[in-house]
Amino acid sequence: MNTLQPYSITMAALAAAGENHIPEELISSTHLIYNSPAALAFNSPGAQGFGVKRAGLAVPDSIMLLIGPGCCGRNTTILSEMGGYSERFFYYQMDDTDIVTGRHLTKIPRAIEEILQAVTKRPSVVMVCMTCVDALLGTDMERVCRKAAVKAGLPVVPCYMYALTREGRNPPMADVRRAVYSLLEKQTRHRRTVNLIGFFAPLQDDCELYEILHKMGITAIKELARCRSFEEYKTLSQANFNIILHPEARLAARDMQERLGIPAVELTRLYQVSKIHTQYQALGAVLGTTAEDGARWEQARQAVAKMREKHAGTTVSIGEMQNGNAYEMALALTQYGFVVKEIFANLSAQDFVYVRHLAAVSPDTKVYSNLSPTMLYYEDRDCPVDLTIGKDCAYYHPHAAHVYWDEDIQPFGYAGVISLLQAVHTALTERRNA
């Protein structure tokens, strides 16, 4: 067994300390960052999944110009080829003179003109993605893009891949959500139309939220990811209200309310079946109607009962590179009969609503940070588990059954719970039969 140990803290100790005394080891801005394979996948705003660069291309027919040093360009090339959108990326590689003098800023309009001459189809918008270099230079990219838009004759919108601001008021993934809706213009709103905002991919097709909203009288449910043209994208400003599905979309929702007059309500992705029901009933009350979710609620409860019968006592580690909040998911699985041994995830004050409940039902669950340098000393033999959820967590337990749960299509509601439990059952069954 290791004499050097990774930092961890039990759920009971976390709850006792409270949200105002989160240990520095769990706050990445207070120490060096350990770029383990578990951390590399998500700790940059340009990372796998929907980082800033891919998210900025969510507007249909858009292209992106990345302004940055060669290292950022190499990373983008790899990710864009993996994602199948490399033909929409263009690069301005900064040299030493650019970095020292800011000379590159005068060249951006000309670079965009050259791109427009090279592409076969005129884009709807050029997203200009800036790296930490311009954050340190203090570049006014809004002004640069306005000048470029006049020259190019089409919208030019900045988005910021600034890892330095990840823990600030407007972190990169919140600001890019605002940016992709910033081209919408005020239109007549339709009373029976709603936008689902927050994700860059659509909800799973069998998500009951669509059905529930239709029963409430909503006839058009719009999502950015389902827009197939720029003209269709522009109809998002006709919505009577927005439903926020991810907290990082709050900035975008506030901007849309101020510019377009579209108010918003918020739903949280949950894996606790009882809380999902409560949330739908609250949504119905806000909208002055009833959320008819009885059949799907019962279906989810039956799925939980079957899972408890087959897999109660299964030990689990949960990471943060997955479609859910690691702490809420841990609470849900604990309620369903699983034993959550570890959580590998950053912690915020907002997570304490789950931490306090976990401390009562699973006080010995340990919390680690993927980004802590002490994770160099982690060994899975010190805490073997049957199952991992999250691609980052799988790195720590190579011999367990794995559910990555990081697909682009987004799980939500009862359908999300059922899909997760099915994936868990499949992974555990395959491991036992191997």
Tell the residue number behind the tokens 């969510």, with chain if given: 58
Burial 231-242 (b: 16+ CB within 10 A, else e): eebbbbbbbebb
Q: What is the DSSP letter of 322?
A: S
Strand-strand pairing, 126-130 and 89-93: unpaired
CATH 3.30.2250, domain 9-31+294-433, yes or no:
no
| pTM confidence score | 0.92
Give alpha helix (H) positions in 316-412. Answer: 326-335, 352-361, 391-396
Which residues are bridge partners to 90 per DSSP? 65
For residue 176, what is the enclosing H or E element? helix 172-181
* CATH match of 52-169 with 3.30.1280.10: no
Helices 352-361 and 326-335: crossing angle in degrees, nearest 10, is 30
76 vs 80: CA distance, rounded Å = 6
pLDDT on residue 371: 84
Answer whether 9-31+294-433 and 52-169 agree in fold. Answer: yes
Topology classification of domain 190-267: Rossmann fold (3.40.50)
Give the pLDDT confidence score for residue 100 in this predicted structure.
84
User: Measured in whole angstroms, how far is the alpha carbon of residue 184 from the centre of its chain?
Assistant: 22
Provide the residue-wise pLDDT of the chain in tens; the chain has 434 residues: 456 899 999 999 999 999 999 998 888 778 777 776 666 554 554 455 678 888 899 999 999 999 888 776 665 555 555 556 678 889 888 888 888 888 889 999 999 999 999 999 999 999 999 887 887 778 888 999 999 999 999 999 999 886 655 666 678 889 999 999 999 999 999 999 999 999 999 999 999 999 999 999 999 999 999 999 999 999 999 999 999 999 999 999 999 999 999 999 999 999 999 999 999 999 999 999 999 999 999 999 999 999 999 999 999 999 999 999 999 999 999 999 999 999 999 899 999 999 999 999 999 999 999 888 899 999 998 899 999 999 999 999 999 999 999 999 999 999 999 999 999 999 999 999 97
Domain extents in the chain: 9-31+294-433, 52-169, 190-267
Residue 158: helix, strand or coil by DSSP? strand
